[in-house]
Structure formats: structure tokens, C-alpha cells
Structure 1
Amino acid sequence: MTSIVLKTRPRTPARMIAPWCLSTLVISTFSFSILAHAASDEALDPVLVTATRTPQKAGDVLSDNVTISAQQIAQSGQTSLVELLQKQRGIEISTYGGPGTTASVFMRGAANNQNVVLIDGVRVGSSTTGGATWSSIPLSQIDHIEIVYGPLSSFYGADAIGGVIQIFTRKGAGTSRFNASAGYGSYGTRTMDASVSGSTEGDHRFSYAIAAAHESADGFSATKPNPSPYSAYDPDKDGYKKDSTSGQFGIVLAKGQEVGVTFLQSRLNAQFDNGPGFDARTIQKLTDVAVYAKNQIVPWWTSKLQLSQTTDKSTNISSDQSYGYSEITTTQNNYSWQNDLLLGPDVLQLLFERRVEEVAATGLSGDRTTNSAAASYQLKRGAHLATISIRNDNSAQFGDHVTGSLGYGYRLSKDWRANASYGTSFRAPTFNELYYPGYGIATNKPEKGKNAELGLVYDDGTSQLNVSYYRNKITDLIISTSTCPIDPAAYPYGCAYNVDKATLEGVSVGASRLLGDWALRASMDLQNPRDDTTGKLLPRRARQHATVALDYGSGATKAGVELVTSGKRYDDTDNQTVLGGYSVVNLYASYDLTGNWALFGRWNNVFNKDYELARYYATAGSNLFVGVRYGFR
């Protein structure tokens, strides 16, 4: 379900879970003698790009982070990006029905529009409603995902309050490879995808990767019966169709000199409920195109120039009347010039960006330009690691905004590291919050965040432990209210305005242990995302949520079981409408046949738990998905 005005609601108190709960999780998980990763490549130290916009070994990254590898995505058997993210530490989701309907992703209690989403380094999302349109991003096109928690505005500008999720599509390397898969499941779910990738050899290496996919589902009713006279309930099935393509092409012109292009395109046609008697639907089109040049100017100076354009278009058809049709289009043109200067073991980064947002929507149009300059310094000295960064974003709409961060890490031993950091961030008001007739207020200011964090990391190659405590204070929080105190006569149906303060506070724990063919991994988030003005818990965010998974892999067989659990949440800012807690058990397995063929399957919600992520909106019951894959190794 898509609406031209997204009203973010105020929020509510919460009490931190007793410290012994956290201790129990850490001790029981960390000391468990079963492993958490079966694949040999996962034992290696992965390289992350997102935390500082430069490649870093995971062991040197000071920001709290999670990486989802290509193998983990394939073995998960998931068909939806949002469902995959729901299993990750520090993340909660809210959906308005099954796959294909509108969804929100909360990072450490931050709202969907307080997080930045990148695809191959290019920002995507809507400038009117705010945040990414998650259902339009095809999981089948994704190679791997990096999730970095905490304020990153000093690297990425506006909206990086809760963190950054960066999606990477496939990149060609080595001999040509062909991959394909097809699957079928409950609710008439059908998927097909194929890709080819590789690269030539020699001084002028040409790399290529291109993929295409189709998926569809008959679905289930997005809504449940609702006693309200304004209920949108319709007992029909709400399915979807999604077609997507992506590609990367690069050529090395000379040693250290590369140019290339990346693209992703997706079209989603999804049904939703808007009351009986009409087949309401949303058509979402996402297009992302970028050209880049990477140049080794001198041995110690690397330059990357990137020009990109993204288009996020949503057409909403909710009735056969003219007022039941609306269109929202956000076009973003981004220009980025990044310079990485090696100073011995250290890196000095200088960044210049220009972002032009253009909005065309039913009842609303406009544009804004933001020019940015940033600098950061990454230091390595024996057991000491440090990062400092500063950025100024100058917007034609709200003027200058300066953000910064400082992080320090100390290696207590080869396996243990302690971290501390402080950073500021901000979120720019959306066009709806500023200009939508009868709702937006043009004088709304950016939200501002100040985050302090402590962390402890352990990794001996077999056991991993990550514990982070954070406290993020948000001021000038923009809320939506049905009764506007600014000017009730001018805003009879409510407005968006700066009034509140919020605190996003919590402890996030992730742990795993490896041993032979078995693997155990677990995470728990104990949080208190509250509206300081009212003392109430922020809507659709629980005080605690956790995952536990046990995997087995031997020879051709891989199998696993996972538990996803969450405490109760509230659907409203006054904390009157309770969304009950839930625990869902999922099973998944794959079997490698001879050659390059493999079978895979997933059984979600084994015990058919009936729960809600938004009041009177349905979630999937017990459902099965099976498929065959060719070429994945």
C-alpha cells in the first residue's frame, strides 16, 4: 500500500531488559561448542567498503557492522530482501501485507527515513515519502550486502542517523560463469533468474556481469477484518509481479586506470487492499545508472569520479475515481569525486559531492540541490586504530549543516578489541513534510542526532563476539499528527512539524561459534527507542528482538533451523494499540547434485504463527518454497 503522504508518528517509553538477560545470551552463545559458519570462505576476514567509503578488512572497521555474503543469501532460500534483513542484528521491519507491499526497515530503532540505502555506491529512495522503496529492490540481483550501524552523515550526508545499508550487485571476474535458478512455493510464488559474468585477461582487462529475473505470486489478502467503518479490508488475494535486470561493465585502459558503468532496473506491479470492489495496485519503477572512472594518479593518490542518476517512480491506483490515482517520481542526480591519499599506513580522504533531487507528484513538485565537501583520516599505529571525519552539506533548502565523527579502537590482544566513538548526523525533511498541501510546513528544520557508542569485538577465526552499547539523542524530531497545533484551521487533517526529542538507546549483541560441520549463530537487541517528549515507545519497535540459528554442512548437504523472535510493539504513538510479540521458526536446506546443479528449499513459519507487523495487516502463514539452481559454487 502506497500513500502520497507518509505520516511518521510520535513515540513512546520503554524499559531496558535486565542486564542478566544480556549476560545470559552472551555467555550461553559464546561458550557454546557448536560452530556458526560452515563455508571456508566465511572464515576469512572479509573486506568492507561502506564504513569509510574505502576498502577495509572487517577486523579494522570501527563501526558496528554485519555482512551478508552471496553464499548466505543463496543458502537462505529467501525471495524477499525485507525478509532477509529481518533476520539481521539491529534490524526490525514493518510490512503492509506480503511481499510486494509497502515495507519499512528500522535500524537500531531509527525510522525508515533515517537510514541511507545504496546500490553499488548510489543512493536510492524517495524524496517525498522518505527512505527506500524496499519492495522494488530485487533480492535476485544482489551479490552481497553490507550493513553499517550508527551515524554516518559525515561520510554520506543527510539521513544516515541509524546507519547505512549498501547493496552490491554482481561483478565479473575470471572465466565466464553462467548461473540460473527457478523455484515455486506457497501462495503461487514463482521465481526465475539467470546471470552471466566474467572478465578477459591481459593489460586491457574487460569485466562484465549481467543478470535478469522474474518473480510473481498470487499472494494472500494484505489486510485482516477491521471493525472500523473506514476499513480497507478486502478478502481477495493480493499478489505481485516483478521484473528486473542489472549489470556491470568495466575496462582497464592502463595500469591503475579503469572506467565502467553499472545499472539496475526493476518494475513491480503489486496489489493491495483499499476496500472491497476494486483491484487496487501500486506500480513501482526503480532505475539506477552510474558511470565511473577510477584513476591511480600517483602511487599514493587514487581518484574515483562517479556520475549517477536514480529514478524512483510509484503509481498508485486505489479506485476507479480520479482521486484514486496518484503518481510520485523522485529523480536524483549525484556527482561524486573521491580522493584517497595514502600517508604511510594511514589514509586521508577528500570528498566532493553534488546531489540534485527533483520531485514530481500529484499535488506536489519541486527540487533542491545539496553541495557537500568532506574529509576523513584513518589511522593505524600498532594496537591503535582511529578514524576522524567532518562534512559540510550546503542545501539550497535548509542551508549549511556540519557533521563529524571520531572513533578509536584498541587491540587488547590478537583476538580482542575495544572501540569507542562519537558522531553527529541529520535527516533532511522530505518534500511531503515541507510542501505537501495541507500537511507540510516549509519552515521545518532537519532532524539532528548525537550518538555515543562503546563496543567490544572478539574474533579468533572460530569464535566471534560483538557487543555494542549506543545512545543516540535526536532533536527537532519531525512528527505527524492528526491535530495540528501550528494552525488548526489551515491544517484540518493534521501536519508534520518539528517538536519532539527522541532517544535511541540499546545494546546489540552478535555471537557465533564454529566447530566441525556444525554452526551456531545468535543475536539479541535490547533497546529503548522512545519519544522523550511523551516518554512513550516509538511505534512498531520492540524493546527486545533476537535470532538464533543452527546450521549443518557436510559434503553435498547443508541444512539449518532458525528462530526469529520479537517482543511486543505498539502500532500508535500513544501506545494504546498493541502488536503482540512473536516467535517464528524457519527451516532451510540445500543439496548439491552432480555437476553444477543444486536443490534448495525453505519452510517459513513452520508452526503457522499468526502475528502482525502493522495493525490489521496480514503476514504469511506456514509456507514452503523449493527450487533448483545451476552454476552456483
Structure 2
Amino acid sequence: MNSRVVFSSRAWPRLPLHALAGAVGAALPMLAAAQSPQVAPLAVVAVPALHETVVTATRVAQPLSDLVADVSIVDRDTIEASGATGVLDVLARLPGIEISRNGSIGSTSSVFVRGAETRFTAVYLDGVRLDTQSTGGAPWEAIPLAQVERIEVLRGPAAAVYGSDAIGGVIQIFTRKGEGGVQPFVSAGIGSQRTRKVETGVSGQAGDFDYAVGASYQESAGFDVRTPDIRHNPDLDLYRTHAANVRLGWRINAQHRLDANALASEMQSAYDASSGSSYTRARIFNDDRNHHHLRTAGLGWTAQWTPEYKTRLSVTDSSQRYETRIVGQPASYITQTQLRDYRFENEYRTGAHLVTAALERREDRLLNPALDAYSKTIDRERSQDAVALGYGYVQGRHSLQLNVRHDKDSEFGGKTTGSAAYGYEFAKGWRVTASAGTAFRAPTLYQRFSEYGDPSLQPEASRNMEVGLRYASGDTNASVVAYRNRVRNLIVFDGARTRCGAAFGCYNSVGRAEYTGITFAAGHRIGDLTLRASLDLQEPRDLDTDKLLARRARAHGVLGADWRIAGWTLGAEVQASGRRWDNAANTTRLGGYTLVNLSASTQITPEWTVSARVDNATDKRYELARGYATAGRTAYVNLKWAPR
């Protein structure tokens, strides 16, 4: 008997919460009963192995099976099979994550983890902190996907481990690491909108030395990123990026190791402003461009002093520069953030116990030069000194994780955060979890000292509680996690306030928000068929106005399948999202959407792999931000040479 499931973006948000929760909850035992542990793993899987090591939850390497936290892992095979061209496109397929983007890949982008603001996610690239001290949040559009080997996503507050910013979650991005013999690769692809991409690199080990070096170039003629109802330059809006990275390691002896990494990325994209300056009576349109410059560097020393005691000392630095300009004219806006971090970690393991302690210093600087008579130069610095303690216990059916951290800000004084998480395996493969934690984010230097700033802004602070039910056995996993995260001193741009002297308004930190929701996720393998699914039902709400927060749907989810047959891996995926509001007043609606993505890959020889992908196969027209178009149906074909 054949069956068909139809996803309607209009009907989804109207479905009762308890009905969806009951339906997915009822499916968990059926998934458990259908497990097939004897099936060999596939190259592209949605079910991570329980012994896989994760570092994001506590900043210490731990088996996935020991974690109480809500974590997702994406490896390189999955990234390549997805055919994604940007980091955000990979993240959008994970539970608990939504994205918003003003046009194409190189445009201003946001990531909402469990509905939280994009600045509420702490982001690291090879251990290097990424953030902007302008409006806050990682410069997602500047992070090159070509260099990425692995992504770990932690959903839920983690300020007791990471300090400021980790209110909604943490995302760690790792580049390739040298292993085994010499492993070169070259990859080239072409696609719709005159998209071209080339990647090359080499990695490996030579005695006690390991290395990985890579470079990439990607460009596309793009599409017109503004919708027809917006006055703008109706040209194709290109994007172009090139990047290079190096990651080195030296095993001095059995107890000591040095690591170093560096990455540089340049991105240019067109966006075509809709302001009066871009439209004249003579109908002469400007060609507006974004320019992103990202640099990261890190150096670390790891020492295993005894079988139980290990330390790590690291220094990291990142610099992000963003500017906008009209082609042929000087820059109209420039902002540059530099972050430097010094960290000393201690780890002591004995039996079922893990004790951690860390000292950390973070230094932030923002430089915004005044480029016209209406702005002012910002050149400000601040620092945060912190001490963090952690305790983990895993024994039999019980898992416990406790963390506390005290940050002393050079301007705001002390801030203490803590978290407690407990997991209990009540039956084989079944575990119930519960956690609570506090978190904060200090206002950015721009929010305090720009022409729209208010020096009296206070740090945003949150309290989170969550409970979860998880099943994992063999080739099957499933989970249900319910959470509530309340934020006070929420910083918003208040158009009614003019205390800062700006005609348009000022930043204000008197808002309150609540992020509540339930995340369902499941994965299962049946023979050569791998299935995965996730569904998020959420209420990201402004408690002062009782309005939904902008650009976040009350329901969104992903359903995917990968099938290996006759040497091919075939994939199909459905991404669906409900309706959202584009503004805080909830007066401008963005429609829901359903996207269908298809992929195929095969090894034509042991060294050569060809892959193809069609995104938005039904050519759905939709918006992630009002006035900005998204790509229609696109196709991409890639050929990779990687000798074994």
C-alpha cells in the first residue's frame, strides 16, 4: 500500500500543539521497535554513533552518550552530500535552528537557536571566538563553508561554560585536521546563476607533525535580491568569496602537544539599497556592495601531566571588518571588531568524576570611523576576566553536570552564572534529562557608544529550564525536548526614545522576552535507507507587547531521506516553515513555505566522486526578510578528486 504525506505551510502553524506533541511522542516507541542494529553504517548518516566525541557541551572531550545537553553534530561527509554552498544552509537543516537572510549567501544573515536573537549564540571557529561589537552576533556570511570539517551545535544556555553571549546556544565550527598519510584533494563545481566553485588542499601526518592546508574560491552572478515592489537597481546581485586556512599540530612527546591555526576569508556581495540615495528621477540606480574581511588565529599548548590531570593554555584572536559602498565611490560605512582571548584550562579525571577549572580573559575592541557629518567615530575597548568551575559525574544510569562561572566586566562589574543538568537511564536506551541555567550578554560597544547608543545599557540576562526524553540504540535515535528561556533587560531599538539625540531613536534595555517550545527529532536506518526528521513548535514572544518576535515561525521542521543503491547515494529533503512576522509590531507578514531539495552522489572511481543537487525543486517563491527575494530553483554539479 502506498501512502503520501502532504506538508502545507499554511496549515502547519494552526495545528494544535498537544496534537503534534502526542503524534511525535507516540512515534518514539515505534521507532525503537523498528531498530536494525545489524545494518552497516552508511557514508551519510543522520544517526551519530554513541561513542562519538563532542567538545562543545563542556569544552572538554566527552562521548556523546555521556552528555545531558541537547547537541547536534554535522560531519564533512554530510556537508558534502548536502550540496550546501553556505554555512547557514547547513545549519537550517538542524533541529531548533531558523535562519534569516537579506537576499543571497553574502547578505546580512541571522541564526535563531530556539528562537533566541542571533547575538545570543556564542560561535567559535577552531576555538577562536567570532562576534561583532556592532549589533552583535557572528558574521555568518563571512564564514567559508569550504574549509569546514565538522559542526557541533549546543542548544540551550551555556554561559556558565562560555561566558557572555551563550544565552540561546553555542555553535562550534572546526576546519580539517591532518591525519594519516598525505591526503590531497581538488574539487570543482558549476551551477545555476553562473555559480563556480573551486577547492583544493592537502592534509596528513609526518612523524609527530600533522598539517592541513586549504584554499577555495567561489563566485556567482546571483539573482536580483530585492522584490519587485521595492525601488532598487534591478540587476543581478553577485557574490564572490575566496578563503584559505592552515591548521598545524606538533606532538612534542607523549605528554605535550602544540597546535596552531589561521584562517582568512574575503567576501563581496551586492545588495542594492532601497533608500532615496539609490533612486533618482533620472532612474540611475546605484550598485551597492558589502565587503567582509575575516581573520582568525589561534595557538594552544596541551599537557598531560599525569594520567588524571591535563591542562591547556591557549591564545586566540579574530578580526572582522565590514564595509558598504556604492561601486566607484568611497565606503559609506565601516565597522571593525577585534577579539582576543587568553584561556588556561585544567581537567582532572578519576573514575566516574570529571573536575574542570579555567581562567579566561577576553578583550574586545570596536572601531567605527566617522565617514560623514551625521556619524561619529567609535574607538572603544573593554575586557572580561573570568573563573569557571565544572563537575561531571557519569556512572551506571546516572549523568550529572554542574557548572559555575564568574565574569568581571571592566565596565559592568561582576556577573555570576550557573547551570545544573541531570540525566537518568530508566530503561535500556531510554533516558530522561532535566537542566536549569542562567546566562547573560553584555551590550555591544556600538549599542552603548554610537549615535544611537545609551551608555547606561545593562547586560541582558536569562533563566532557562528544560526537560527531555531521549532514545538511542543501534541505528535509531529519537528525542523530545521542552524548554522555557526568559530574558530580561532585552536590548531593543526604540524609535520613541530620543535621549541619545538621534532622530530615529535609541537602543533601550528594558525589554522582556520568553522563548518557549518543544523540539522533536528522530533518525533511523533501515537497510540502505536512512531517515531523519525534526519538528520545532515554539513561541518566541515579547512579554511587554505580547507580540511574536520578528522573523521566527511558530512551527518549522525538516524531513529527509538518503538511499544507497547501485553505488549511488540519493537524497530527498523537505524543509517547511510556518508564517512569521517581519516586524516587532506584527503588522507585516511573511508567508510560510515548503522547499524540496534533491541530491545524488557516486564514486565513479576510488579517487573521483561526482555529486549533484537541486535546491528548491518546486521553484517556491518566498521571503526570509521583507523586500528581499530568495533563490528559486537552482542546480549544482561537483567533481572531486581525493586519492585514498
TM-score interval, normalised by the smaller of the two chains: over 0.9
Amino acid at match of 1:247: V
Q: Distance in 1 between matches of 2:212 and 2:105?
A: 27
Following superposition, the deviation at residue 97 of structure 1 comes to 0.5
Deviation (angstroms), 1:88: 1.0
Pairwise CA distance, 1:513: 1.3
187, 206, 212: which one aligns with 2:215: 212
Q: State the match for 1:107 in structure 2.
A: 113
CA distance in 1, matches of 2:15, 2:509: 27
What SS does the corresponding residue of 2:623 show, helix, strand or coil? Answer: coil
Counterparts in 2 of 1:82-481, with a 5 A limit?
82-201=88-207, 205-226=208-229, 231=231, 233-274=232-273, 275-276=278-279, 277-318=285-326, 325-362=332-369, 363-437=377-451, 439-481=452-494
1:579 offset after TM fit, Å? 0.3
- Where 2:157 maps in the other structure, the secondary structure is coil
RMSD, aligned CA: 1.8
Task: Please say which of residues 569-578 and 411-420 is displaced more in the overlay.
Answer: 411-420
Q: CA deviation at 1:319?
A: 7.1
For residues 512-533 of structure 1, give each alpha carbon's deviation from its aligned partner in whole angstroms, at most 9, with x where no partner exists: 1111011111000000000000
Gap change, CA 1:510 and 1:218, over 3 Å in 2 = same
How far 1:16 sits from its partner (Å)? Answer: 8.9
What are the within-5 Å matches in structure 2 for residues 24-103 of structure 1? 24-28=23-27, 31=30, 38-39=42-43, 44-45=49-50, 46-103=52-109
Per-residue deviation, 1:555: 5.0
1:318 CA drift (Å): 3.9
1:9-20 matched pairs, under 5 angstroms: 17-20=16-19
CA distance in 2, matches of 1:536, 1:214: 43
Answer yes or no: is the 8 Å Cα contact 2:72–2:153 preserved in 1.
Answer: yes
Report the 3-state secondary structure (helix = DSSP H, G, I; strand = E; otherwise coil) of the residue aligned with 2:136: coil
Question: Match for 1:531 among 524, 542, 563?
Answer: 542
Following superposition, the deviation at residue 481 of structure 1 comes to 2.1
Distance 1:365 1:443 in 2: 18
Give the secondary-structure state (helix, strand or coil) at the position aligned to 1:151: coil
TM-aligned CA deviation for residue 412 of structure 1: 1.2
- Deviation track 1:84-124 (CA, whole Å, cap 9, x = no partner) reads 11111100000111111111110000011111110111111
1:518 equivalent in structure 2:
529
Q: 2:44 touches 2:78 (CA, 8 Å); kept in 1?
A: no
- How do residues 488-567 of structure 1 correspond to structure 2 at under 5 angstroms? 490-567=501-578
The one-character-per-residue Cα deviations of 1:24-69 (angstroms, maximum 9, x if unpaired) are 2344577366989733886632210000011111111111010001
- Corresponding letter in the other structure for 1:487: R
Q: Which amino acid aligns with 1:530?
A: R
Q: Distance in 1 between matches of 2:583 and 2:16?
A: 22
Aligned 8 A contact 1:16 1:543 in 2: no
The separation in 1 between residues aligned to 2:44 and 2:289, in whole angstroms, is 45
Structure 1 unaligned spans of 5+: 1-13
TM-score by length of 2: 0.92
Contact 1:239/1:271 (<8 A) preserved: yes
5+ residue gaps, structure 2, are: 1-12, 280-284, 370-376
- Displacement of 1:344 in angstroms is 2.4
| Pairing partner for 1:568 from 579, 595, 611 | 579
Structure 1 residue matching 2:548: 3-state secondary structure = coil
Relative to structure 1, the CA distance from residue 88 to residue 30 in structure 2 (aligned partners, 3 Å threshold; closer, same or farther) is farther
How many Å separate the matches in 1 of 2:514 and 2:199? Answer: 43
**TM-score scaled to structure 1, two decimals?**
0.93
Conserved? CA contact 1:449–1:474, under 8 Å: yes
Q: Which letter does structure 2 place at the counterpart of 1:65? A: V
Compare 46-55 and 23-32 and name the one that shifted more.
23-32
Q: Secondary structure at the match of 2:22?
A: helix
Name the CA distance, whole Å, in 2 between partners of 1:337 and 1:17: 49
Measure, in 2, the Cα distance between the counterparts of 1:497 and 1:526: 29
Q: Which has the higher contact order (CA 8 A, sep 6+)?
A: 1
Structure 2 letter corresponding to 1:184: I
Q: CA deviation at 1:77?
A: 1.0
Check whether the contact 2:325–2:332 (CA below 8 A) recurs between aligned residues: yes
What does the per-residue CA deviation read over 1:444-486, in whole Å, with 9 as the maximum and x for residues that have no partner?
A: 00000100010111011121101100000111111112221x6
Count of residue pairs brought into register by the alignment: 609
